[in-house]
């Protein structure tokens, strides 16, 4: 499916006017960044970059899209001719998936003509705002779980397409698996799943349901034991599957207290290796509250796919630099485009509460010799990092060609590594300041 109409109407309104004014072919640099982190969180997680590269690659206006725009009078014929041959031919740099970001971090830098870059705003923000929000929440949950695996199971609580993206983002942040088969098909995210309460209720008895499941899936399966009476169900489960039963799942009630009861019962029945999985409206805070419970894993749904109270990462896409090539008008667009190799001038907005910083940015994470993160340094010139520092922007697209794809496993491994760079207080769940400060060099704001 093409992605060109995953955009706001005003992107094409600006494009049409810029084509007529001659500004369309001025070189421009846009940045994606967050002015703040939501809910006093201490870091954000970059996710969605791979999906965005796929979306840019498919950003085409075919005959059907062009007919729609023409028939509805959305743009004029000049703009339709431009869109008919549209291919993004610029350059994109970005933070790698799985890395962390802080207020002001330029997690995506898009350089091209104003025309080709401005119409990517909506699709870029749609992907990154969603996936970064999910990954940021997921990372906190994984930290709270303290090494216990978490299954992503939020598909029934969100849009069907968002569910797949959420599973991908959660896996980058450390979730062990997903219930969503499309996520496994599209991205290779491990999937798992056993049975719901409906499976028990459709059988003549709980024992009959357990026997059917064990006969089909083997004794290593996970049996849901809270449909009726939990202690009785646990006894029945061990009678049916034997002490080698893989796991039991508890989905309701006082999860911590029930887990203690179930663990004692399982041990008394000889099922000392049978695991206990807890599900049921969990978030990072309830998971942290279960840290001392005899639990082996969790399943998280609603809170994960809604960003655990922060459903968007509050990222914005802003013009930060442009060339000064004189406006050419329609007759001189080709000559203007060919000649536009002059210096870029920083531009920024001063809107109250929504300021931006002008200039094309570079970013380095300053670290101690031991590898602990100190500051996020943002500069207006290519950095000169020390051996301990880490350069953050990577080339993703070069002259329209995607050069920055990587396997999901690389993003997952990166996230584990960069979390280890943070100071210990950064992993606290309580509200606080960003884990490290963002430092701008030079520390000024330039405007047009």
Report the 3 state secondary structure along 61-100. CCHHHHHHHHHCCCCCHHHHHHHHCCCCCCEEEEECCCCE
pLDDT for position 157: 95
pLDDT for position 423: 95
- Which is it for strands 247-250 and 222-224: parallel, antiparallel or unpaired? parallel
Cβ–Cβ < 8 Å for 55, 131: no
**Using 50, 70 and 90 to split pLDDT, how confident is the model at 348?**
confident
pLDDT for position 313: 96
Q: Does the pLDDT at position 448 exceed 60?
A: no
Calpha distance 225→235 (Å, rounded): 10
Query: CA nearest 151: which of 138, 134, 164?
Result: 138
Calpha distance 246→249 (Å, rounded): 10
Q: What angle do CA 299, 304, 308 make, to 5 degrees?
A: 125
Q: Does the pLDDT at position 336 exceed 50?
A: no
HSE, CB side, 13 Å, CA atoms: give it for residue 391.
13
Query: CA nearest 90: which of 110, 108, 109?
Result: 110
The whole-angstrom distance between residue 20's C-alpha and the CA centroid of its chain comes to: 37
Q: What percent of the chain has pLDDT over 90?
A: 90
Q: Does the pLDDT at position 329 exceed 90?
A: no
> Which of 33-42, 222-231, 351-360, 437-446 has the largest mean confidence?
222-231
Q: Does the pLDDT at position 285 exceed 90?
A: yes
Cβ–Cβ < 8 Å for 28, 84: no
Q: 93: which strand partners?
A: 109, 395
């Amino acid at each position: 499916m093409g992605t060109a109409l995953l955009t706001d109407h005003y992107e094409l309104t600006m494009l049409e006017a810029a084509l007529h004014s001659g500004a369309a072919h001025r070189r421009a640099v846009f940045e994606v960044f967050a002015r703040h982190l939501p809910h006093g969180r201490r870091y954000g997680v970059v996710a969605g970059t791979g999906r965005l590269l796929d979306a840019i690659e498919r950003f085409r206006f075919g005959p059907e899209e062009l007919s729609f725009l023409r028939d509805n009078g959305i743009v004029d014929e000049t703009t339709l001719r431009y869109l008919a041959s549209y291919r993004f031919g610029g350059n994109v740099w970005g933070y790698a998936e799985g890395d962390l970001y802080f207020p002001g971090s330029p997690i995506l830098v898009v350089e091209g003509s104003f025309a080709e870059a401005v119409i990517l705003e909506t699709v870029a923000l749609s992907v990154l705002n969603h996936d970064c929000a999910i990954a940021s929440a997921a990372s906190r949950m994984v930290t709270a779980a303290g090494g216990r695996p978490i299954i992503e199971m939020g598909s029934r609580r969100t849009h069907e397409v968002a569910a797949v993206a959420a599973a991908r983002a959660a896996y980058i942040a450390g979730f062990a698996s997903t219930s969503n088969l499309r996520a496994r098909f599209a991205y290779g995210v491990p999937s798992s799943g056993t049975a719901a309460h409906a499976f028990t209720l459709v059988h003549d008895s709980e024992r009959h349901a357990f026997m059917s499941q064990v006969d089909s899936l083997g004794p290593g399966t996970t049996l849901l034991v809270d449909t009726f009476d939990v202690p009785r169900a646990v006894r029945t489960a061990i009678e049916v599957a034997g002490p080698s039963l893989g796991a039991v799942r508890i989905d309701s009630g006082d999860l911590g207290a029930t887990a203690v009861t179930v663990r004692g019962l399982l041990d008394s029945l000889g099922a000392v290796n049978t695991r206990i999985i807890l599900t049921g409206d969990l978030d990072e805070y309830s998971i942290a509250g279960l840290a001392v419970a005899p639990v082996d894993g969790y399943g998280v749904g609603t809170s994960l796919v809604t960003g655990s109270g922060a459903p968007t990462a509050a990222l914005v896409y802003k013009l930060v630099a442009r060339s000064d090539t004189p406006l050419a008008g329609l007759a001189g667009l080709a000559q203007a485009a060919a000649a536009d190799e002059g210096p870029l001038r920083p531009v920024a907005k001063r809107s109250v509460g929504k300021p931006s910083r002008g200039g094309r940015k570079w970013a380095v994470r300053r670290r101690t010799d031991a590898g602990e993160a100190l500051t996020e340094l943002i500069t207006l010139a290519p950095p000169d990092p020390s051996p301990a520092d880490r350069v953050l922007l990577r080339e993703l697209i070069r002259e329209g060609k995607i050069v920055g794809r990587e396997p999901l496993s690389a993003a997952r491994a990166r996230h584990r590594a960069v979390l280890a760079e943070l100071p210990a207080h950064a992993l606290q769940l309580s509200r606080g300041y960003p884990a490290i400060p963002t430092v701008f060099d030079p520390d000024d704001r330039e405007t047009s």
